[in-house]
Chain A
Amino acid sequence: MAQLNMVQAINQALGDEMARDDRVMLLGEDVGRDGGVFRVTEGLQDRFGAERVLDTPLSESAIMGAAIGMAAYGLRPVPEIQFMGFTYSAFEQLFAHAARIRSRSRGRYTCPMVVRTPYGGGIKAPELHEESTEAIFCHIPGLRVVVPSGPYTAKGLLLAALRDPDPVLFLEPTRLYRMLREEVPEGDYTIEIGRARVARAGGAVTVIAWGSMLERVLKSLGDIDAEVIDLLTLNPFDVEAVLSSVKKTGRAVIVHEAVKTCGFGAEIAATIAEEAILYLRAPILRVTAPDVPVPLAKLIDQYLPSSEQIHAALEEVLKY
């Protein structure tokens, strides 16, 4: 099996699916000739042609809106929004249309598309290039939100997303793009959307994380007997996996790099409180970024949850 990084794994998934299904088309800013600003789509335009790997004008709302029209027509477009912070100008298309067209038309029109966007902090990039606003997207019924945590999950989840009949927001943690290398099977495999994965089994405390924070959590455990849940899909998140682990350990710590207030950790904590409070031995803790705009490079390391903060939270809940 080949050792791939996440950029290579995503590239492979896109190429394989385009070869398999002529409905799959890529569109976005610089995705073709340039191979994307992170080179995720490198070589795909040479392989599949400029009509299938379409360099668009700098126009996020039109990219998203056009993808909706293409999906309704019967294609499977994969719009790339260059950075998560630039999805904001495409909100109306995503929220008012992509997520609702199936419902609005009672199933006559659907929107099978995968919106790919790099997200998260830690790459020393300019403003709005390190956003982590995934919770906003989870508030929209009709839109699935998926976050891989490494090359293996990236390929399997992306292949599943490309075959999903509904729109999927596929968040690619930029910090991990070239940081991790994993064995990635060359052949076809999918990871079911809506299912979490136990990244590390344990008994004393449940840690729930996703995306780039998973890597940091796994490095922060020390000798703590933690069970680490890699959520993989945020909407719909795997309630059963979270609850069964928390019922076993009696403790829950949620780690995300987004701000605390109304972060997705709040939804998880509320669900645990509603459905498993009698199993808890300690308060549910959240380790998150502070409630301020994402700072630029000089302070990004002080903004993102650190290993020390994660470890301290685990020790805190273990006091109970």
Chain B
Amino acid sequence: MSDELLASFEVRRLSVLNELGELDQALMPQLSDADIWRMYEAMVLARTFDERAVALQREGRMGTYPPITGQEAAQVGSAFAFSADDWIFPSFREMGVHLFLGYPIPQLLQYWTGDERAQKVPERLNIFPFCVAVGSQIPQAVGAALAARYRRDPVAAICYFGDGATSKGDFHEGFNMAGVFKLPVVFICQNNQWAISVPLRGQTASATLAQKAIAYGFEGVQVDGNDVFAVYRATQLALDKARSGGGPTFIECLTYRMADHTTADDAGRYRSAEEVVSWRGKDPILRLERFLANRGQWSAEKGGEVKARMTAIIDAAVQEMEAFPAPAPAEMFEDALATLSPRQAEQRKVR
């Protein structure tokens, strides 16, 4: 008989750049000045896109939209580590990833006007359509990783979801299968701490989300999700591991949803203004600006110049998007199936 300790675990948290823009040089991944500047511009582009999307919705020019403000580092930092052939399975709040990967901006806006043609992903990108059913993209990413390994392709699958998704059955089923088959997949949770009105403590009794990976037999790490360098470093390490046969990794990016859940939501009903204000100081863009300013590479004037350039890009994209012709009614039949049934063909005729 015995009563012995069988296993014990630790959960690590990675942070490279603090709120003051100060760096832990030992943890800093290899990035050139040009790389860092590219990250900065991509984050400003994402923020500018987001602000415009919300404004367009308020003006009645766009439908319901889920803002990403505050989560730019988690999105740009992770996407910076991807290879061109990797497969990406987003939820619906990763527009910063789309933008960084070069998804056509007018098309990205077009989706949120309610036009499904926008989800015809350009051939050069292996990014899956937005997944509205929370967490259900997780097993699909696992399947893509299975297929990649079967084909002996040096490809990883990357799957994004939010904190709410960790309560879903597909989180468990997908993580479990990924662990059993030791697949090349990287799970990235943007823990923005709110699933509409339910805070993290209402979602789980687990001290961290990262530790959930341990039960599935692979590594989980928490990173400061507002620290673009930490997110990049963790993603790069996870992808290297995936590609070298080391199996899956779960990265929990601890961040904050600065805006409402969607433009149809009013977060003031369920969370305090003080909480939101306390996160303003942790703003991922502000932090990177402080870092660049400390190195003498950023000034208000330079920042203004970047913002103006990104605004011009978004202006042009909005104009292009609004010039798209409306979909014809028969469009709803396009790609319903490879071949329409006789009944569907009849229904199409009268639309």
User: Which residue of A69, A102, A110 is within 8 Å of B140 (Cβ)?
Assistant: A69
- Do the beta carbons of A72 and B128 come within 8 Å of each other? yes
A66 to B145, CA, bound (A): 9
Q: B173 contacts which chain A residues (CB < 8 A)?
A: 57, 59, 61-62, 65
- Tell me, yes or no, whether A296 is within 8 Å of chain B by CB: no
Q: B139 contacts which chain A residues (CB < 8 A)?
A: 61-62, 64-66, 68-69, 93
A194 to B157, CA, bound (A): 36
Q: Shortest distance in angstroms between A194's beta carbon and chain B's nearest beta carbon?
A: 7
Within 8 A of A (CB), among B182-211: none
Q: A residues bordering B, Cβ < 8 Å?
A: 25, 51-52, 54, 56-57, 59, 61-62, 64-75, 77, 89, 92-93, 96-97, 101-110, 141-142, 144, 164-166, 194, 236, 239-240
Q: Shortest distance in angstroms between B130's beta carbon and chain A's nearest beta carbon?
A: 8
A93 to B173, CA, bound (A): 12
- Do the beta carbons of A65 and B343 come within 8 Å of each other? no
A-B contact count (CB 8 A): 144
Q: Shortest distance in angstroms between A70's beta carbon and chain B's nearest beta carbon?
A: 4
Could you list 9 examples of A-B contacts with CB < 8 Å? A65-B143, A68-B143, A70-B147, A70-B150, A92-B133, A96-B133, A141-B336, A144-B337, A164-B338
Instruction: Report if A92-B136 is in contact (Cβ < 8 Å); known contacts: A59-B177, A105-B121.
Output: yes
A67 to B143, CA, bound (A): 6
Q: B123 contacts which chain A residues (CB < 8 A)?
A: 108
Q: A65 contacts which chain B residues (CB < 8 A)?
A: 136, 138-140, 142-143, 170, 173-174
Nearest-neighbor residue (CB-CB) of A71 within chain B: B143
Instruction: Report if A69-B147 is in contact (Cβ < 8 Å); known contacts: A101-B129, A105-B129.
Output: yes
Binds A, one of B16-24, B112-120, B267-275: B112-120
- Do the beta carbons of A104 and B119 come within 8 Å of each other? yes
User: Which residue of B87, B342, B343 is within 8 Å of A73 (Cβ)?
Assistant: B87
User: Which residue of A108, A109, A239 is within 8 Å of B342 (Cβ)?
Assistant: A239
- Do the beta carbons of B129 and A109 come within 8 Å of each other? yes
Q: Shortest distance in angstroms between A276's beta carbon and chain B's nearest beta carbon?
A: 15
Q: Shortest distance in angstroms between B122's beta carbon and chain A's nearest beta carbon?
A: 8
Q: Please name 6 further chain A to chain B contacts, defined as beta carbons within 8 Å, in addition to the given A66-B146, A75-B147, A141-B336, sorted by A numbering.
A: A57-B173, A64-B139, A66-B142, A67-B143, A106-B120, A107-B120
